Structure 1
């Protein structure tokens, strides 16, 4: 084994805790490993926090791919992961960079192309989930008047949000009387389509509002056997802030295992995806969103005992670690807090 094993976290942004936990995982494995952070903004919170920090062009810049491959050839990491949705789309869909990294011997967690596209498109995701028998709310576009009327007739409330948005962008919880105004407002604030046209009802989705409590569930697939489920880690959301879980309590993952198995198998999952599910008392959980990366809810299960970073590194480096990495205690409440660090001076 390399005496100085290396991993790369792309676009870590504000998630300094993830860098710390991979450092701790190296130490727990008895290794002097390096956590490399790549960022486009050299003054971001994470850019100078890694053991090595490297600035890369923006993912959409033609220079991004060559620069990333040059870095990988130089540092020879065993593992590469990104926590940025747009960078992931570029790696797995817009280019073959993820495959080029794998050909160089780098472990790159993810889902297959169809599911990566689905994770970015809420209408497509609903269709994928329905196709594998996973409960999900009825979903139509904002210009589907008949579909909206059907949802309004069978649901006490409706949800409006951007079709290609993230972090709850465009979100509105409305009744049937307010759905048209909410759709119009969401259209006005929707990201412009790639072809440069003005946003329309096709860029907004309307869904039935689900009963029950919202949960965040990490589905962890084997890193070498696509589709093989290795862990399900769950927490009930107590408070949200800016579209991300701010406080949560860990819960028994048993109710979510069936959905997790179907998603992992269909998506040919390797590594972790962050899934939002609603669970009503005595009911079956329904999936409303999937993020193909470490999400903002992972810290709550990590602080309760789970250790996915240690699992990632062990699988990347061919080490045996048993199964305790997926064990955590239910009933543990955690909350996020603010912090700040100096990232540049004199500019």
Structure 2
């Protein structure tokens, strides 16, 4: 069995660039390392792209946990990360798998259990942010008529979306007269909080914020939970299917205060992807947090940042300078499509 330093990326899906950048980070550190990719779909774009490909059961399968631990005991990786929201919930909330991996000496980036739950629940997230003094839009559920009426007294434009959704699922931008219809439409496809038939409580309503939307990566130390190490920001220019498609890198200074509060409260290790609006006076408000590498990270990486290099240096106990968190503002990047053969029938 190879003794080369190893890391694992779970559910990489379409993010082949992330695999490439971790390979480059190994090389930049002068280490002959391996990037292992785990998937439950052997024909996904990323499944056969890693240095080692391993198939795991779906996260909800009872066989997933034992298979993951068996893989870790065999390959002995220094770092494990997933870019799938549901796998992360299973690792950090539904089970103690993340802690079991850490007890085996594996670094597993993430947030604590309360914030992992909050990242999946937009109502809970708003409450957590309010508790630590981070500005966020007032948030009520779609069945809270009094709450919606109170919001309508101050604004006329609203955001309606799924409470447990991701990638802008259920999203509608409406005026006050269209809120009821938008809630009804969102309920029809909403994931349910309690597993029952979805209702208005499975949809959230918020005032539409003024200003420009930004994506911000908050990076915490992997060894000292809650210690902020970097803030990386870009202004969103264009979205596609709920993910940033084009962006321009910007100065992170306006977002640092919020980043410090979130990192400390969430006991953050590693990177979280945060959506913030910046109003005309330069005041930021948080609207969403994804506890993983998000679709916006490539824009700061291409401008000079190198979070994979930081991750591997901490996982392998290597010293690096602070250049990994430096990037140039004003760099415009856009995503493009590609395709690769992943399997042959039969």
**Pair in the same fold by TM > 0.5:** yes
Q: Could you tell me whether the CA contact under 8 Å between 1:170 and 1:189 is conserved in 2? A: yes
Question: Could you give the per-residue CA deviations for residues 94-125 of structure 1, whole angstroms, max 9, x where no partner exists?
Answer: 00000000000000000000000000000000
**Partner Cα distance (2:243, 2:64) in 1:** 28
Q: How does 1:77-156 map to 2 (within 5 A)?
A: 77-156=77-156
Match of 1:238 in 2: 237
**Partner residue in 2 for 1:22:** 22
Distance in 1 of aligned mates of 2:153 and 2:293 = 37
Contact conserved, 1:3 with 1:32, CA < 8 A, in 2? no
Per-residue Cα deviation, 1:307-336 (whole angstroms, up to 9, x for no partner): 000000000000001100000000000000
Q: Is residue 167 of structure 2 the alignment partner of residue 167 of structure 1? A: yes
Q: In angstroms, what is the RMSD of aligned CA positions?
A: 0.9
Query: Partner of 1:313 in structure 2?
Result: 312
Write the deviation string for residues 35-69 of structure 1: whole angstroms up to 9, x where unpaired. Answer: 00000100000000000000000000000000000
1:168 is displaced (CA, Å) by 0.2
Distance 1:234 1:51 in 2: 31
Q: Contact 1:218 / 1:298 at 8 angstroms: preserved in 2?
A: yes
Q: Deviations over 1:51-88 (max 9, x none)?
A: 00000000000000000000000000000000000000
The 5-angstrom pairing of residues 208-227 of structure 1 reads: 208-227=207-226
Spell out the pairing of 1:44-83 with structure 2 (5 A cutoff): 44-83=44-83
| In 1: Cα distance, 2:81 partner to 2:194 partner | 26
**Paired residue secondary structure (2:153):** helix
Distance 2:65 2:144 in 1: 39
Q: Give the C-alpha shift of residue 193 in structure 1.
A: 4.6
Equivalent pairs counted in the alignment come to 345
Report how far residue 194 of structure 1 moved: 4.8
Mapped partners of 1:13, 1:206: distance in 2: 31
Q: Which residue pairs with 1:255 in the alignment?
A: 254
* Residue in 1 that maps onto 2:11: 11
CA contact (8 A) 1:273 1:294 kept: yes
CA contact (8 A) 2:164 2:193 kept: no
Secondary structure of residue in 2 paired with 1:154? coil
Counterpart CA distance in 2 for 1:254 and 1:345 is 49
Matched, 1:265 2:269: no
Superposed displacement of residue 153, structure 1: 1.4
- SS for the counterpart of 1:189 is coil
8 Å CA contact retained: 1:134, 1:286: yes
In the alignment, does 2:202 pair up with 1:203? yes
Query: What is residue 284 of structure 2 aligned with on the other side?
Result: 285
Q: Which runs of 5+ in 2 are unaligned?
A: none
Q: Which moved more, 1:62-71 or 1:149-158?
A: 149-158
Quote the Cα distance in structure 2 between the aligned partners of 1:128 and 1:346: 48
Stretch moving more, 149-158 or 270-279 = 149-158
- Supply the distance in 2 between the matched residues of 1:79 and 1:63 (Cα, whole angstroms): 22
Question: In the TM superposition, what whole-angstrom CA distance separates every residue of 1:112-142 from its partner, at most 9, and x where no partner exists?
Answer: 0000000000000000000000000000000
Offset of 1:290 from its aligned partner? 0.1
- Looking at structure 2, the residues matched to 346 and 298 of structure 1 have their Cα atoms a distance apart, in angstroms, of 34
